[in-house]
Amino acid sequence: MRLNGGMTQQALAVVVLAAGQGTRMRSETAKVLHELSGIPLLGHVLATASALQPEHLAVVLRHHRDAVAGVVTDYVPDAILVDQDDIPGTGRALELALAALPSTFAGDVVVMSGDVPLLDSDTIQAVVDHHRSEGSALTLMSTIPEDPTGYGRVIRNDRGDVTGVVEESDANAAEKQITEINSGVYVMNRAHAHAAVAGLTTTNSQGEKYLTDIAKALSSAGQGVSGVLVEDSWLLEGINDRVQLSEAQARLTRMTIRGWQLLGVTVADPASTMIDLSVELAPDVTLLPGVQLKGDTRIDSHATIGPDSTLVDTIVESHATVVRTHSLGAHICEHASVGPFSYLRPGTVVGVEGKVGAFVEVKNSTLARGAKVPHLSYIGDADIGAGTNIGAGAITANYDGETKHRTTIGSQVRTGSHTVFVAPVELGDGSYTAAGAVVRRRVEPGALAMSVAPQRNLEGWVEHNREGSPAAIAAKKAGKSKK
């Protein structure tokens, strides 16, 4: 393959370091598996690495090995998995990764950290291009943060060439005054890198093979080591604890929302809005305050979501409205309305111009066009026909203690308040139910289903059974006033 100008494209490999324990996260979950905008930290890094179109991508694993490996294979099925041994340090991790690359590979290697999620492929590609144009053996990416504490310092000579990197724990007082830090992102020729890591030792304050030591090793051997200073320090910020995780999430959210706003989405209050990277939004969508859109959610044009709604893996078609609702795996069709205070569970379909109203839970059910469940109801495992209205307080009794059963309600049905449908049961088109009906068998089209029992009033029951209570006193007083 050739570049413009006739230059031959050099081979590229990427090594992602993901073996660290991440103790500062104080979590049973591997650090690189904590999420930003619905994607694991490592998923962000692997997506960036894949965008570089490397010939080979290797990931070094150790702590939480199987869980991390599962994420790697989900994102990059053909990645090379490298297990770090008991010799600690990032230098050892690279040494093992280089050995795992095919012996025929002789190109450049990009080294990335699995906990630096916001670094983009364009920035890395610019560093790769600089590395190749300079003919360096090693190029590192550096930056000048507001506070360099805790980071390795980049050492340069009078000409500005990089002569080494010193970890803060090994730095002297003068070196700690340096503000330029190493980011942990490198580009290096494989042959030079292989020779350099072979000479690494653990004679330092941490007893580890430092990857940073290869800069000094190559410089001392007369090999060119260059550094590219990245102005935007946030691109290179690693995630070591939950404070840094939340700060990265806030930044990514701001960027994500700004991107959607520029594409025609109205976001009334960006500070209270969360949008996963996997979400799809059309122009003229309106998001009101307190909205969270997660997973494979898709919102079509002119839909309004919020306030105070969470949608996960949910489709909302055009001109629909969703107010103060929690939805998981539902499909809300055109011009439908949901909420406030509705709960849509997986398998729910609210048809065109359908309505799911206040304090209604719907699960694995389909509402046809114009069907309405306006208030205070549970609808589970049901099919509701077009134009049907379900009265307040309805319940589909879908579970017999062992098996779920389905309720089928026809079109243009009207059910009275507090109707209970004991599934499996079917109501024909145009049928009615009376208030308080318990429907246990099929209702024919146009029929009225009733559960009729004579009302009994037990005179004096309150005074006899609740003697001395406020109710009994009120009843006694009312009885005297009648006499």
Q: 394, 375 in Cβ contact below 8 A?
A: no
Q: 305, 289 in Cβ contact below 8 A?
A: no
Q: 150, 167 in Cβ contact below 8 A?
A: no
Q: At what angle do helices 190-198 and 90-100 cross, to 10 degrees?
A: 130
Q: 150, 159 in Cβ contact below 8 A?
A: no
What b/e sequence results for 446-475 when a residue is b if at least 16 CB atoms lie within 10 Å of its CB, and e otherwise? eeebeeeeeeeeeeeebbeeeeeeeebeeb
Number of neighbours of residue 56 by Cβ within 10 angstroms: 19
Beta bridge partners of 111: 15, 186
What b/e sequence results for 137-166 when a residue is b if at least 16 CB atoms lie within 10 Å of its CB, and e otherwise? bbbbbbbebeebeebbbbbbeeeeebebbb
SS3 assignment, position 59: strand
Phi and psi, residue 227, nearest 5°:
-130, 135
Among 245, 111, 118, residue whose Cα is nearest residue 182: 111
Phi and psi, residue 129, nearest 5°:
-65, -40
Q: 187, 127 in Cβ contact below 8 A?
A: yes
What b/e sequence results for 20-30 when a residue is b if at least 16 CB atoms lie within 10 Å of its CB, and e otherwise? bebeebeeeeb
SS3 assignment, position 83: strand
Structural tokens at position 32 = 């690189």
- State the burial class of residue 177 (Cβ atoms within 10 Å of its Cβ: 0-12, 13-18, 19+): exposed
Q: At what angle do helices 41-51 and 121-134 cross, to 10 degrees?
A: 50
Among 174, 178, 115, residue whose Cα is nearest residue 144: 178
375 is catalytic: yes
Catalytic residue among 63, 130, 194, 375: 375
Q: How many residues does the chain have?
A: 483
Active site amino acids:
375
